[in-house]
Amino acid sequence: MSQALPPIVLDHPLVRHKLTRLRDRNTSTAGFRRLTRELSLLLAYEATRNLSLAPRHIEAPSGSMEGEELDGKKLCFVSILRAGNGLLDGMLDLVPSARVGHIGLRRDHETLEVSEYYFNMPSDIPGRTCIVLDPMLATGHSAAAALTRVKAAGATNPIFACLLAVPEGIAHMAELHPDVQIVTCSIDSHLDEHGYIVPGLGDAGDRLFGTR
């Protein structure tokens, strides 16, 4: 088996500041949504760092020049429902022309096993850079299942972007998808006995949608 890619952790003062506010249990639903959107934009900036470029000749106000533009098909952001949708807005702010796919997964809280209930992707996935989105990489079961489906749909070299990860989830991903680059804002300590990240930020879906 090939060696897994090491996770990329955003080490920037703005990311650390916003993530601290996001973790605060007293942050309102509106504040949580806003901070998630802002952090997702920063995540998108890092996750798209290695996109390929093609030359383009343009006429600038003071003369002609050789510029650059993105090469190939447009990006595809793939949201793992429902919490992954919280990362979409910021990503689309940065790349408004990107396609969007959705994967619905349920996790059994006793066995931690994952089952799929929804899958909807653009028809022309092959050739697109797919960035799979979920706020947290906990056990890694949902992320791994989503990436398996995205690869089966034709995606090559997908990227996984999340706000938080833990060593357990990273190890699971390394075992099943060593070729997938993980981009995250923080690697937290561990999972508790219920499979939740410590210190984490609570249930991201509940905090995003006000259902806690």
Quote the DSSP letter at residue 73: S
Taking the C-alpha atoms of 35, 38, 41 and 45 in order, what is their torsion angle to the nearest 10 degrees?
Answer: -100
Question: Is 107 annotated among the ligand-binding residues?
Answer: yes
Question: Is 135 annotated among the ligand-binding residues?
Answer: yes
Question: Is 134 annotated among the ligand-binding residues?
Answer: yes
Residue 102 structure tokens: 């959705």
N- to C-terminal Cα separation, the chain = 41
Other CB atoms within 10 Å distance of the CB of residue 33: 17
Nearest C-alpha neighbor of 146 from the set 124, 185, 166, 172:
172
Nearest C-alpha neighbor of 77 from the set 60, 99, 93, 97:
99
Question: Is 197 annotated among the ligand-binding residues?
Answer: yes
Question: Is 136 annotated among the ligand-binding residues?
Answer: yes
SS3 3: coil
Question: Is 204 annotated among the ligand-binding residues?
Answer: yes
Question: Is 137 annotated among the ligand-binding residues?
Answer: yes
Residue at token pair 């210190």: 199
Question: Is 202 annotated among the ligand-binding residues?
Answer: yes
Question: Is 153 annotated among the ligand-binding residues?
Answer: no
Question: Is 20 annotated among the ligand-binding residues?
Answer: no
Strand partners, 54: 69
Quote the DSSP letter at residue 32: H
Spatial separation of the C-alpha atoms in residues 128 and 100, rounded to whole Å: 11
Annotated binding site for 5-phospho-alpha-D-ribose 1-diphosphate: 82, 107, 134-142, 203
Give the annotated binding-site residues: 82, 107, 134-142, 197, 202-204
Residues annotated within a binding site for uracil: 197, 202-204
